[in-house]
Structure formats: structure tokens, C-alpha cells
């Protein structure tokens, strides 16, 4: 009896300590090639499109993969090895909330979308600034995209500049890994309506380097630790280049940094660390769950009376998204941040995806650049 009791307790401890999830794909569309290689890609691996360690195992017509225990919610999609061929038929991303148990989730993929043959959805005033812009602070290269206002070539004036992360997702559905923000369409619309114009610099994420670059702190299996170098790249290398080669308003009140999820985390961090550079900040669905270090940092860097910050979250993102956001805002106010310069919006039924961020982008811009 005692042995059975000890075994039962040990079993519960193992369940709680090593809770994991297995995804089983048991239904595939007819257009799936025979013995196709199928991958899972998401925020837990940097939205790479497909890494070998996240390739599903095949047994007959069934595919499966087991992911180790993590905290909170993961967002993911299935691909055939890259973003050229990705599952179709769902709105936004798939999500899974980890629990303290071993879990099995059955998945049906309804269709595949081949993006390799589709035309770009980017507006004509979006171009690639550089395919391989050198990042000396990180000793690597990155694609940089740029949006110019419709009147940029015809006018002789200067414009505010907005720096954004995950450049693949901003302008073009075909380069996005989970849908696009439609930044170019929204800004072109605002220009037509009231003449508002600004320059947008879209910095592509580094694939499997995304988690490293978007977190200033090393977080065990999640990576991280290169966030300081990434932000320094924007402040010390990219911004000076943009200000030198384009007609910009370089002042802090005309320089914004905006991102979502991990991009929201690093935007918030950049705004607090470099208030003399970034006077305008947008933090959409920021990943404050990643580390309590973000609260410690904010405690010591919130004595700021000029920077404007817009926070956005959906109440259906995760169990802690809204409470973490509220905690951060109250902490900032308590440590000197001007409450008049903070706006927070919680969207009813909002989920962690580009749809949430796209639909609230215009309102964010109009408030930040009032």
C-alpha cells in the first residue's frame, strides 16, 4: 500500500514537472503530397517556417510531434518546411495553453496555401532598403524594408519615422508567417484622408534568432540575451543611416518604435532605455510573461514625463496577458511615468494574432502622433 502511494505521488510529480503536449495531425487535405514533410512553426522557435527538430514524425497517414513543457500560451501553424507552403483555413494562428499534465491534441489541416506563386500585396511605395544590411552590434545581416509616404518624391518636407519589428509581417501577405498588418494600406488611407505621412522602417526578424534578439534577458530554453545589442543596432547604426539618407524628423517626439508579442516586449524596453531616442512607443500584446526582469527594469526606468506609450491586448490571448499588462502600467505610473502619456486598450475577444494588431493599428497611430 505504501509502495502504491509513493508511486502515485511520484507519478503526479512527474506529470506536474514534465507536462507536455503531443500534436497529432490525423486529417490532411487532398492536395498534400504523398509522404510530405510537415513542420510545426511558432513563437516558441522564432516563426522560422520549419526547423528539423520541429519536423513531425510520420506513421502511415498520421503525423505527430511532442513539444516539451513551457509556460503559458504558444502560437503556431503547420507548414511544409517554409512559409511558401503553409496551412490555410483558420483565422490567425493556432494556440495552445500549457497545463500541468501530459496532453494530446488532434489536429485537422483543411488546406494548404502555396505562396510561392502569388503576387506581392505590398503597396508600390514599399521597397527593400537593403537585402543584407549589416548589424555590427550583432555581427550579422538583415533585410530592411521601407515605406515612404505617397508624396515623398513630390514634396520637399521631412517626416516622422517609425521603426517596426517582424518586417516580414508588416506590408506583404506573401512574406508574412501569420498574416500581415497592412501597415502600407492603412497609412496610405490616412494620407488620402488627412495628409498624414510618416516613414516606416521594417526590420525583418532573424528567424531562429528572433527570441534572442527580442529579449534583453537570457531565459533558459527560450534563449534571449541579445536584446540590448539589437536595440543598440537600431539606435546607433540603423537610425543614423536612415536620418542621413532620407528626409526625416530625427527628434525623439518624431521617432517611434512599435511591435507585437516579443516585438512588443523589446519596443517597451527600447522606449524605457532610450527615452531621448524614442518618444513614441507601441507595445502590442507584449510578452511580459517571459521574465520578471521586465518589471525590475521598468521600476528603475519609468521616471519619464515625455514619452507616449500605447498598450494593446486582447482579453482572449492568454490567462495572464491582461493582468501582466495592468501590472506593468501601474508599476510605471508608481515610479514616475506620466499617466497622461499612457493609453491602454483591451479588445473584447481579441486573440494573439495579426488580426488584432492590424485592426487597431490606425487608432494607435492617430493617438501616438496626435
Query: Is it the case that residue 89 has pLDDT exceeding 60?
Result: yes
| CA separation for the pair 302, 288 (Å, rounded) | 16
CB proximity list for 335: less than 8 A, separation 6 or greater: 298, 299, 300, 302, 303
- The pLDDT value given to residue 1: 47
| CA separation for the pair 216, 262 (Å, rounded) | 11
- Cβ atoms of residues 210 and 46 within 8 Å: yes
Map out the domains of the chain with their CATH numbers: 20-115 (2.60.40.10), 126-368 (3.40.50.1820)
Residue 244: count of CB within 10 angstroms of its CB: 9
Whole-Å CA distances, 328 to 269, 283, 344, 349: 12, 12, 11, 21
- The pLDDT value given to residue 69: 78
- Cβ atoms of residues 150 and 241 within 8 Å: no
Residue range 129-162, pLDDT digits in tens: 999 999 999 999 999 999 999 999 998 999 999 9
Q: What is the pTM of this model?
A: 0.82
Residue range 209-256, pLDDT digits in tens: 998 999 999 887 777 899 999 999 999 999 999 999 999 999 999 999
Query: Is it the case that residue 14 has pLDDT exceeding 70?
Result: no
Mean pLDDT of the chain: 90
Query: Is it the case that residue 61 has pLDDT exceeding 90?
Result: no
| CA separation for the pair 224, 67 (Å, rounded) | 19
| CA separation for the pair 223, 219 (Å, rounded) | 5
| CA separation for the pair 24, 109 (Å, rounded) | 11
Residue range 248-305, pLDDT digits in tens: 999 999 999 999 999 999 999 999 999 999 999 999 999 999 899 999 999 999 998 8
- The pLDDT value given to residue 84: 84
* Lowest mean pLDDT across 45-49, 208-212, 253-257, 348-352: 45-49
Amino acid at each position: 500500500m505504501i509502495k502504491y502511494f509513493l508511486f502515485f505521488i511520484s507519478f503526479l510529480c512527474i506529470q506536474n514537472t514534465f507536462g507536455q503536449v503531443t500534436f497529432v495531425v490525423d486529417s490532411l487535405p487532398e492536395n498534400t503530397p504523398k509522404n510530405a514533410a510537415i513542420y510545426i512553426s511558432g513563437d516558441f522557435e522564432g516563426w522560422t517556417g520549419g526547423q528539423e527538430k520541429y519536423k513531425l514524425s510520420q506513421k502511415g497517414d498520421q503525423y505527430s510531434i511532442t513539444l516539451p513543457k513551457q509556460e503559458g500560451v504558444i502560437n503556431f501553424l503547420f507548414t511544409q518546411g517554409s512559409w511558401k507552403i503553409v496551412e490555410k483555413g483558420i483565422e490567425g494562428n493556432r494556440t495552445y495553453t500549457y497545463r500541468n499534465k501530459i496532453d494530446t491534441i488532434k489536429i485537422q489541416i483543411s488546406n494548404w496555401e502555396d505562396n510561392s506563386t502569388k503576387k506581392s500585396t505590398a503597396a508600390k511605395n514599399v521597397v527593400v532598403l537593403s537585402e543584407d544590411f549589416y548589424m555590427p552590434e550583432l555581427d550579422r545581416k538583415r533585410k530592411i524594408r521601407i515605406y515612404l509616404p505617397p508624396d515623398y518624391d513630390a514634396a520637399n518636407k521631412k517626416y516622422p519615422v517609425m521603426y517596426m519589428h517582424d518586417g516580414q509581417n508588416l506590408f506583404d501577405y506573401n512574406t508574412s508567417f501569420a498574416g500581415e498588418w497592412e501597415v502600407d494600406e492603412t497609412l496610405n488611407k490616412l494620407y488620402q484622408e488627412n495628409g498624414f505621412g510618416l516613414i516606416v522602417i521594417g526590420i525583418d526578424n532573424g528567424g531562429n534568432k528572433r527570441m534572442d534578439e527580442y529579449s534583453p534577458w537570457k531565459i533558459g530554453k527560450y534563449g534571449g540575451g541579445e536584446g540590448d545589442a539589437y536595440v543598440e543596432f537600431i539606435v546607433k547604426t540603423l537610425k543614423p543611416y536612415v536620418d542621413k539618407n532620407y528626409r526625416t524628423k530625427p527628434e525623439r517626439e518624431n521617432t517611434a518604435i512599435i511591435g507585437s508579442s516579443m516585438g512588443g516586449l523589446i519596443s517597451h524596453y527600447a522606449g524605457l532605455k532610450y527615452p531621448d531616442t524614442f518618444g513614441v512607443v507601441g507595445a502590442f500584446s507584449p510578452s511580459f510573461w517571459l521574465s520578471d526582469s521586465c518589471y525590475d527594469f521598468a521600476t528603475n526606468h519609468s521616471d519619464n514625463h515625455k514619452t507616449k506609450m500605447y498598450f494593446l491586448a486582447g482579453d482572449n490571448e492568454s490567462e495572464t496577458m491582461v493582468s501582466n499588462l495592468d501590472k506593468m502600467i501601474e508599476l510605471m505610473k508608481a515610479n514616475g511615468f506620466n499617466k497622461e502619456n499612457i493609453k491602454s486598450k483591451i479588445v473584447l475577444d481579441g486573440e494573439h494574432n495579426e488580426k488584432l494588431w492590424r485592426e487597431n493599428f490606425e487608432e494607435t497611430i492617430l493617438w501616438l502622433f496626435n
